[in-house]
Amino acid sequence: MNSVNLIGRITKDPELRTSSGGKVFVAFTLAVNEYGAGTQYTQFIPCFAWEKTAENMTKFVKKGSQLAVEGSISVRQDNSNNQYSTVVTVRANRVQFLGSSQGSGANNSQNYNQHQQQNNLPQTNNYDFDLIEDNNPSNDDDSILWED
């Protein structure tokens, strides 16, 4: 079983991009707090979301927004500059908006609720950005996610 559940804050505003296969995605980093041996530290987890989830994230999520991410681990080998490395990312199958970023949440909440009403979607107390049926963009190379 390959399953990951994370709660954290997004480190910058999501930016919609298009893969070589023509599918839209966002690559984002989730800052997740961990506690151990009486100390707190933060892990920065690279994640990506595809299609409808990606589109909704760019509309309603801002830097600092608290998100719950459900997904799977994606592992690939990289050979940059003749040095092999393993790149681990999280493929977000579901992203749920849990709360506001510092100062911007009220507007996002109002915008999302208006979007729900205009499209006759059920009202919820949180933001649930599920992917559409095809959430396995197998033709896309996720190595493009982290290139600048």
Residue range 123-146: average pLDDT? 42
C-alpha separations of 44 from 8, 30, 78, 98 in Å:
9, 6, 19, 18
Domain total of the chain? 1
What is the tens place of the pLDDT at every residue in 93-124? 999 988 755 544 444 445 544 544 454 444 43
Residue 148, amino acid: D
Domain range for 68: 4-134+141-146
Closest CA to 107 of 96, 115, 119, 118: 115
Is the predicted pLDDT of residue 129 greater than 90, yes or no? no
**Which CATH number do you get for residue 110?**
2.40.50.140
Residue range 122-140: average pLDDT? 40
What is the tens place of the pLDDT at every residue in 35-64? 888 888 999 999 999 999 999 999 999 999
In angstroms, the CA 55 to CA 137 distance is 15
